[in-house]
Amino acid sequence: MADTLPFSDKIALVTGSARGIGRAIAETLASRGASVVIADVRAELAEATAKEIASQHIAASSGQRTLAVAVDVVNGESVKAMVERVLAEFGRIDILVNNAGITRDNLIMRMEEADWDLVLNINLKGAFNCAKAVVRTMMKQRYGRIVNIASVSGLAGQAGQANYSSSKAGLIGLTKALARELGSRQITVNAVAPGFIPTDLTKDLPAELKDASLKMIPLARWGSTQDIASAVAFLASDEAAYITGHVLSVDGGMVMM
């Protein structure tokens, strides 16, 4: 049965995957045959998530595995060590999902410089560090899928999110630049731009903002982490082999461009 799954024999590295959207992505890729690396700054939570995914989504006879790795994506040496460990365990990396990200929302007149730097470093520099660390291996393989988790805030902007919107707009630019740079080696680079999704990043939004958001969404509902995971799985699959440099909005129609 495992041989018929779309990601059989594929190794997927997902950052920020101990919970939320990242976990849903890791679960989906595992359920479709991939061995998954749960990479997160929260080491204990990453270990627990890896064990749960293995028990819930991987058959003992499939040959698939999960691996938990603690990483600080802002630290280049930490990222390098993570990739070296993954290569030592699996020998290759086929899929990289740059999902690690944070918010530190505030109006610009009240935004601390430290909060600007933190968000840009994790959301944008972190993706740069991870992509840089895996591309040599992918280029040697002449195969790779990189999927960056952007945001509709990076497409349309969002008041009170100057740092977050800038980081995600930058991530979209990075996506397109890498798509041009790596395409000749059959490495595709795409982005998924989620709209409103219930996660730890959105749980503290005021009720009035949540209600107002529904009026901006033609489908009149928030999405789910599975909606994002399914989009990522498509872009990481061979069915999307001729798609690169693309930003796929998964937002219920909120931002149409």
Any idea which residues carry the catalytic annotation? Answer: 164
Per-residue pLDDT, 173: 98
Q: Dihedrals φ, ψ of 190, to 5°? A: -135, 170
Cβ-count burial 13-23 (b if 16+ within 10 Å, e if not)? bbbbbbbbbbb
Per-residue pLDDT, 214: 85
Please, are residues 36 and 14 in contact by the beta-carbon 8 Å criterion?
Answer: yes
Query: SS3 for 146?
Result: strand
Per-residue pLDDT, 249: 97
Q: Tokens representing 256?
A: 């149409």
The residues that bridge with 194 in the sheet, in sequence order, are: 250
Q: Give the angle subtended at the CA of 114 by the CAs of 43 and 206, to the nearest 5°.
A: 80
Q: For residue 131, which of 74, 173, 178 has the smallest C-alpha distance?
A: 178
Identity of residue 193: A
* pLDDT, averaged in runs of 10, over the chain (257 residues): 76 97 97 97 97 90 92 98 98 98 95 98 98 98 98 93 97 98 98 89 69 85 95 98 98 86
The pTM of this model reads 0.94
Q: For residue 101, which of 176, 31, 48, 170 has the smallest C-alpha distance?
A: 170
Per-residue pLDDT, 204: 66
How far apart, in whole angstroms, are the C-alpha atoms of residue 92 and residue 71? 18
Query: SS3 for 19?
Result: coil
Q: Tokens representing 11?
A: 């190794």
How far apart, in whole angstroms, are the C-alpha atoms of residue 250 and residue 229? 10
